[in-house]
Structure 1
Amino acid sequence: MTSQRASVVVTMLALSPGVPVTADQLVDELWADQPMANARNALQANVRRLRKLLQAVTGRDGAELLRTAGNGYLLDTPADSVDAQRFLELAAAGARLAGADPARAIDTLEAALDLWRGPALIDTCEGVRCRIQAAHLEERRITAYEDLTAAKLSVDAARVPVSELRQLADEHSGRERLSELLMLALYRDGRQAEALEVFHGARRRLAGDLGLEPGRALHHAYEAILRQDETLGEPRRVLARSAPALA
């Protein structure tokens, strides 16, 4: 089993596969709060430990997989073999597909989000660089969820899990797009009053926390729901009334 510090080393290298990470960067990530006179030796010991583990797991020569490169190290592995990199690729592809082919976007974005098993880099994010990368991955996760929800709304609003979307909007109250999507999902579900209340709740939170008004997109969604703009799609209750009666 790898030590905590060895895990940090492999995480740093895996976040940029094929790209050298200097020994100074690794040392700073590992011991920034407690400088060590023999930090380089300790880093080399962690690298040796990792090489043995990687060789046992992959069958490849550990020194070839975790290579010395100049004044540092690199992980010689394809980017798409690292979950974080694969997620970023799929999330970007899904975002590109969202407008032209929302059905394919849904499949792609669901595949991206299925790679998550919990908070990003949860066991290795004590250092500054890993914390920054973890925050970036979490940001992209929420963006991918927003893109997925928008694609589902354009294909079939019934596929949107409203309770899950509401919880996420509450947890990330500063992200107006989540509130906008929640408003649309509620409206399409025939819950216009709830959709309007989401706007008022977001407005109160933004004013209280940041002294701001909702942005243009959220205002536009609110006004469109007030006038039941046909561009929003018909609420489910309207569809139910227009359905032919059963014989």
Structure 2
Amino acid sequence: MEFRLLGTVCVDTLTGPLPLGPAKRRSLLAALLLHANTPVSMARLTDCLWDDTPPLHARTVIQGHVSRLRALLMGADAQAYGVELATLGDAYVLRAPETLLDSQRFEELLMLAREQRSPADTVLMLKEALSLWQGPALSGTYASAPLQAAAHALEESRLSTVEQLARAYGVLGEHHRAAAVLRTEAVAHPMRESVAAGLMTALYRSGRQSEALDWFHRTRRLLADELGIDPGRELADAYAQILRGEPADASGTRGGLGGLAHAPNVPGGGAPGAPGGLGR
């Protein structure tokens, strides 16, 4: 049995994913998994399932979804995996070993990556962590403010991990690989200056100076047109380094590929206050 938040929220079993049903039930499961092994109040669950004023029968609706979810888990022999959906007063708690939750394993792999002395081993840990992602976090849930905030925090952690992977490639002198992983994110997040700066540096160090400069001007125009701002220091510094013609440093210690930074914690996995109040 495996619980997934890093993509479409689901419960995978040996016979396939459980039929969770409507988005509200999937959202309820997501809210419980974001606080796995911690009681989640009826009020918090209500906030996750309805944006504005909840219906008068909201409590009954939640109780019905809990009952159906509990039946699905019991039918999948969840107890054999140490999984239990329990009622604690005016709250519910989904008890489950952390190894069954993809976001918890993601965070554990990030911790292991930080402990590696070899950049090659760091790359392996980070690639394994990123392989857990199967799409945008918390897909298939209701777009309530708390769940959207949690999904955003998870996505920020993923992006930080991609940037960390690029830095590790830079330390190894594999700048073409750094450019490859950053390009995808630069296209998807065109105004994220740290990604653009890292991509520019990786392109420059892999001998593609013209492409690196083009990327700067593209990002600069976008920032001006969309936000009315100039490039920040990190992006400007990467641009200046290229203009100065600084030699490509295989150690990756300048221009956005320096030191392997710690990625932020994942919501529900011990982070001290994720957006939307979903951190523990």
Indicate the TM-score class for this superposition, using the shorter chain for normalisation. Answer: 0.7 to 0.9
Alignment equivalent of 1:82, drawn from 89, 97, 101? 101
Deviation string for 1:24-53 (max 9, x for gaps)? Answer: 221232244463322222221211111111
Deviation at residue 188 of structure 1 after TM alignment: 2.0
Q: Distance in 1 between matches of 2:160 and 2:78?
A: 37
Query: What is the alpha-carbon distance in structure 1 between the residues aligned to residue 140 and residue 83 of structure 2?
Result: 26
Instruction: State the Cα distance separating 1:140 from its structure 2 match.
Output: 1.2
Task: State the structure with bigger RCO (CA 8 A, min sep 6), 1 or 2.
Answer: 2
Give 1:2's aligned residue: 20
* Coordinate RMSD, CA, aligned: 2.6
Q: Which TM-score applies when normalising by structure 2?
A: 0.74
Cα displacement string for residues 168-195 of structure 1 (whole angstroms, at most 9, x for unaligned residues): 2132122111111211221122111111
Would you say 1:147 and 2:164 are equivalent positions? yes
Match of 1:179 among 196, 201, 209: 196
Q: Is the 8 A contact 2:46 2:58 kept in 1?
A: yes
Consecutive unaligned residues of structure 2, counting only runs of 5 or more, are: 1-18, 252-280
Query: For 1:107, what is the secondary structure of its paired residue?
Result: helix
More helix by share: 1
Alpha-carbon distance in 1 for matches of 2:137, 2:38: 21
Percent of aligned pairs with the same residue? 38
Segments of 5+ residues of structure 1 without an aligned counterpart are 235-247
Query: Per the alignment, in what secondary structure is the counterpart of residue 67 of structure 1?
Result: strand
Would the alpha carbon gap of residues 78 and 45 (structure 1) be closer, same or farther in structure 2, given more than 3 Å must change? same
Equivalence for 2:31:
12
| Aligned equivalents of 1:127, 1:104: Cα separation in 2 | 39
C-alpha contact 2:176 2:203 (8 A) present in aligned 1:
no
1:222 Cα deviation after fit: 1.7
Q: Is residue 117 from structure 1 mapped to residue 169 from structure 2 by the alignment?
A: no
Q: What is the 5 A alignment of 1:126-165? A: 126-157=143-174, 160=177, 162=179, 165=182
Contact 2:105 2:129 in 1 (8 A): yes
Deviates more, 1:142-151 or 1:162-171: 162-171
Asked which structure has the greater CA Rg, the reply is 1
Change (3 A) 1:228 1:3: same
Aligned residues: 232
Is 1:56 matched with 2:113? no
Q: Is the 8 A contact 2:162 2:181 kept in 1?
A: no
